[in-house]
Structure 1
């Protein structure tokens, strides 16, 4: 962050004048005495006109084939994307649409488990073969499957720090979704793409897009509850990161009301995992983004263990990373590390490549004279 600031000719005071943070706060972050929260990074990203990935140092590349293998699929995904507008030249006949549909379901499963390496290995060939079917037959099912596969590729690219590739994937997925003739599918792709906009520092644009999407729900159509609820939850978290408490909690309450009116169902047709448990962890996330750490701790403590354990690994791990941030901000190093280690146990690849997890781990390093065995192992696995 300090290098990005200097490249743009700004002093710490100059940067402070462009954000809602003091020069002292900025100095402490740059010196490693204070953790860089996502809200802070977003504000600095906007002020410096820099991608958040640049400030986080993404993508996190390894120095050996084994430590860099999670990135191995990125060139293949770029090549698969190149065949979006015409059928690819395959070496042999494509697999059947039924077989490829099963592969897309496997991709969704791997995404839920945050198995980045296996997901990246699976997707390129599936995308190319689905592109062949879609352009050859123009079948709605083929376009829907291609849209779903492209979304999975976009999610993986974003998590690994390739925001521009992720944005391209989501834009193509949205185009395919229109051809699939499902009016709710493009809205969910905007829901996914909003996280890329965050990485670009465009938080206000992300919230406005999500707000617009909530007005485009076709009530009574299958998926309306899931899509509407997911849009409000995502808008709540992003508004929280913007520091807009009123908007954040309003969106959150709307999502909770939508769920309650529908009988508090567990919905996942669009891979949003919309459920009572997911709503609970979003409540803690909103408080975390707003910097209300006492409220985040209170909401976290109110989540029954069996409810948390019922969530998919990706969501559980993300919640634990959020709570590690909260404990680190409150100076509770032990609980912060414990949450990170639990997140890593549940979803190792996601945790090791998650900017917030790495930020907290680095912060814990800076605050401890003697590293515990757990912290030593974690930073070694993260290659910090």
Structure 2
């Protein structure tokens, strides 16, 4: 059973966790602020719950305290006090499957054909886009193991491509649940598979995935270097390559925003918008990137949120209407971002509505998302008497 973080108070917010870890290191607030290159007043406000902790601050504090950001977030989360839930039960199997690509684990029955496995990769990718974490966890390890048999048996580039796709889904799940070490290991495996796939875009996408993990741990400059390296020398004549280039620019926009570089963030956002406008009107979803003009607009809200320009984020959101054709993962993430902006501007009722909407769209993702949980804790701290919808959400997140 994985070591799920259930030993601490379930309702402990990021600020309280920072304070506890700071004291354990023997640091004053000023000492931590100096190490994290932020002001003492910011540390004090976050620790006392008067100001929300941004991902940028979490990364800076984690670096200063020499811990993984997942420890500041309190990840991995368990769904019930004292018991790891089903999602975490898939982690050990996924770790074994990723580790044993060159010596595949034994299967009870012969592996499915590559055609059948291609269909299964598509199904699992759709489940991931719908934020069905448990169902992805139930399927992904067996899928990686079956594809490992094929790559060892035939070395078929198509098998390597499918293996890379499955490993990328595993990486995403591990990162979302807070297993950053496993995500990093999976990225290395996915990059190795990409190199044998004969698809020139897959190695670039492996770098894109790695840049996202670097963003999670606050390595902004390293992440930007990876994105720049991945985009160097791209042939943009095909729609597939333009979609990859656009996705790289969106990653660069968020990285720049978290680093506080507003000019760079909006410049990369503009390049992504241009790439999206150059795609055919009904282009397929290349590589599962969901790269299109509406997704770029969603990222515009995210860029503003990461820059803590909450008024701009709310203004951009007011112009958006997301149809159900946009994946549940994208729609729920957008609602969480807007919820963060509304909490930060003191619009408590509207924030609760958006967070409840996120949960209705993608329950598993919302309950495990560190910024959703932090926003809910801020709402709880604000109310002397909890509204019933907030109390029930608190219960579902096990924040009691």
2:25 and 2:216 map into 1 onto residues whose CA distance is 19
Instruction: Name which of 142, 146, 149 aligns with 1:129.
Output: 146
Q: Are the aligned partners of 1:159 and 1:354 in contact in 2 as well (CA < 8 Å)?
A: yes
Instruction: Name which of 158, 165, 175 aligns with 2:192.
Output: 175
1:366 aligns with 2:381: yes
Counting only pairs closer than 5 Å after superposition, residues 34-113 of structure 1 correspond to structure 2 as 34-63=51-80, 68-113=85-130
1:345 aligns with 2:357: no
Q: Are the aligned partners of 1:203 and 1:238 in contact in 2 as well (CA < 8 Å)?
A: yes
Report the counterpart of residue 10 of structure 1 in structure 2: 27
Report the counterpart of residue 293 of structure 1 in structure 2: 310
Report the counterpart of residue 394 of structure 2 in structure 1: 379
Superposed CA RMSD in Å reads: 1.7
Report the counterpart of residue 327 of structure 2 in structure 1: 312
Q: How far apart are 1:66 and its partner, in Å?
A: 8.0
Report the counterpart of residue 336 of structure 1 in structure 2: 351
2:221 and 2:379 map into 1 onto residues whose CA distance is 31
| C-alpha spacing 1:50/1:65, structure 2 compared with 1 (3 Å) | closer
Q: Are the aligned partners of 1:259 and 1:265 in contact in 2 as well (CA < 8 Å)?
A: no
2:277 and 2:218 map into 1 onto residues whose CA distance is 33
Q: How far apart are 1:117 and its partner, in Å?
A: 0.4
Instruction: Name which of 283, 292, 309 aligns with 1:275.
Output: 292
Q: Are the aligned partners of 1:51 and 1:199 in contact in 2 as well (CA < 8 Å)?
A: no
1:366 and 1:64 map into 2 onto residues whose CA distance is 21
Q: How far apart are 1:67 and its partner, in Å?
A: 6.3
Using structure 1 for the length normalisation, give the TM-score: 0.95
Report the counterpart of residue 252 of structure 1 in structure 2: 269
Instruction: Name which of 4, 23, 32 aligns with 2:40.
Output: 23
Instruction: Name which of 183, 187, 199 aligns with 2:204.
Output: 187
Q: Are the aligned partners of 2:81 and 2:398 in contact in 1 as well (CA < 8 Å)?
A: no
1:218 and 1:65 map into 2 onto residues whose CA distance is 52
Query: Partner of 1:235: helix, strand, or coil?
Result: helix
Alignment: residue pair count: 382
2:349 and 2:283 map into 1 onto residues whose CA distance is 34
Counting only pairs closer than 5 Å after superposition, residues 321-332 of structure 1 correspond to structure 2 as 321-332=336-347
Query: Partner of 1:60: helix, strand, or coil?
Result: coil
Query: Partner of 2:263: helix, strand, or coil?
Result: helix
Q: Which runs of 5+ in 1 are unaligned?
A: none
Q: How far apart are 1:32 and its partner, in Å?
A: 2.2
Q: How far apart are 1:221 and its partner, in Å?
A: 4.2
Q: Which runs of 5+ in 2 are unaligned?
A: 1-17
| C-alpha spacing 1:257/1:331, structure 2 compared with 1 (3 Å) | same
1:67 and 1:82 map into 2 onto residues whose CA distance is 23
Using structure 2 for the length normalisation, give the TM-score: 0.91
Q: How far apart are 1:219 and its partner, in Å?
A: 2.4
